[in-house]
Structure 1
Amino acid sequence: MADRDGRAGGPADGQVLRDVPQQWRITASETPFEGAKTSVRTDRVVMPDGSVAARDYQVHPGSVAVLALDEQDRVLVISQYRHPVRHKLWEIPAGLLDVPGENPLSAARRELHEEAHVEAGDWRVLIDIYTSPGGSDEAVRIFLARGLSDAEGERFEVSDEEADMEVARVPLAQLVRGALAGDLHNNCLVTAVMALTAARTEGGLDALRPAEAPWPARPFEA
């Protein structure tokens, strides 16, 4: 619907936009594929006009990712082979929420330790995203970690693709340029470096949500 100026209807100027939880009626559901960590589900969903349409999507446990920023404004990144896209991608440390109800901060600390052998003294929620809501229910919480230090003890033993993983610290500005140039493609990396850049102009990094902020997409135990 258009308004008097001919523009499409939408939020009024200055109105805060928020995604709204909503669930359309499902008449049937099946899971034609179940994997070790994820599965594929087909739901038959009632549309607003009363018709019923099939919607296929990946059922995912959720993930966490960590933008670890050191005192020289460098971001800790890793390079890992990703078979579905046939690329070795530069990414930030990340991993699955393997345990239902798992505290995402605990999972993020674990991933930073296992993938980079690094600990952090200051944690904030940088941004929450759905990676591909048209085809997956995966939700990702990306943390900002500062006050970095080497972890104690022996490094975590890696295998499979992680055995070929590289670790580096790259200036934030270089990552932003790489994303805009089309040289970097990992969604968590690109989202995180852009969000961090924006956060510095919107109240500063200390204004970010606390690390234990609620996450309705993946409720967790305190």
Structure 2
Amino acid sequence: MFSSQDVTSLAHESLYQGFFRLVRYRLQHALFQGGTSAPMVRELLVKGTAVAVLPWDPVSDRIALVEQFRVGAWAAGDANPWLLEVVAGMADKPGESLESVAHRELAEEAGITADKLTYLYHYYPSPGGSDEQIALFVAEADLSALTDFHGVEDEHEDIRLHGFDRSQVPALEAAGRINNAATLLSLMWLERELSGRHRALKQDES
């Protein structure tokens, strides 16, 4: 099994520093059949860690999703670049825990206070060209009184909040309205978790 010790950085340079950073690396790595690769050049989009949170009301079995403009979907030619997503934000404040980021983003983007946070997992959304990691959570919260519009003006956030019965999710997915990894993964986790609880309850009753 390889490790980071099997990669050699020969040179690197910063190409751009803006909202994100772009770095060019010249590197080589160990090969599966032995030896070392020829030197290669790779550009890396440096984004860091983001936190994504699915709000779920266990009493009403409803979820909340935010809708906002996404430049990536627009640039890719999507007919509707306003995407339905889970609440999310960057973990970019020194010393702030992932749980603190989750609570902060829930308040800023949705006006929601979580009663309980459940950590799901980390994943790399695009490891071929970015170092970004996403930490996924489900937030149990009272979603009975959602307000429509949210966002931090200084961050150019213009967010509309939507509440859905969880039974509506398959139709939203089939219509292509839920088309980003963090939202799909957290919804799949919740479906699997609740199905498992239902099976365990039936077994206890039998």
TM over 0.5: yes
1:198 aligns with 2:180: no
Q: Aligned to 1:136, what secondary structure does the other structure show?
A: coil
1:98 aligns with 2:92: yes
Aligned to 1:54: 41
Aligned alpha-carbon RMSD (Å): 2.6
State, as a whole percentage, how many aligned pairs show the same letter. Answer: 29
Separation in 1, partners of 2:52, 2:137: 6
Separation in 1, partners of 2:106, 2:12: 37
Cα offset, 1:100, TM superposition:
3.7
Cα offset, 1:156, TM superposition:
6.8
Cα offset, 1:168, TM superposition:
1.1
Aligned to 1:83: 71
TM-score (norm 2): 0.77
CA contact (8 A) 1:63 1:140 kept: yes
Aligned pair partner of 2:12 in 20, 29, 34: 29
Aligned to 1:215: none
Separation in 2, partners of 1:185, 1:161: 22
Number of equivalences = 181
After superposition, residues 60-139 of structure 1 pair within 5 angstroms as 60-70=47-57, 71-86=59-74, 87-139=81-133
Cα offset, 1:101, TM superposition:
4.1
AA of the residue aligned to 1:66: V
From the two aligned structures, give the one with the greater helix fraction. 2
Aligned to 1:45: 27
Q: Aligned to 2:115, what secondary structure does the other structure show?
A: strand
Separation in 2, partners of 1:46, 1:199: 42
Change (3 A) 1:137 1:175: same
TM-score (norm 1): 0.72
| More off after superposition, 52-61 vs 172-181 | 172-181
Cα offset, 1:105, TM superposition:
0.3
Separation in 2, partners of 1:180, 1:157: 28
Aligned to 2:138: 144
Cα offset, 1:56, TM superposition:
1.0
Change (3 A) 1:21 1:62: farther
Separation in 2, partners of 1:173, 1:136: 34
Cα offset, 1:186, TM superposition:
2.1
AA of the residue aligned to 1:22: S
Separation in 2, partners of 1:179, 1:161: 27
Separation in 2, partners of 1:149, 1:201: 21
Give the gaps of 5 or more residues in structure 2.
75-80, 199-206
Change (3 A) 1:127 1:203: farther
Cα offset, 1:149, TM superposition:
6.2
CA contact (8 A) 1:74 1:170 kept: yes
- CA deviation vs aligned residue, 1:173-218 (integer Å, no higher than 9, x gap): 32244225533212211121112222334578xxxxxxxxxxxxxx
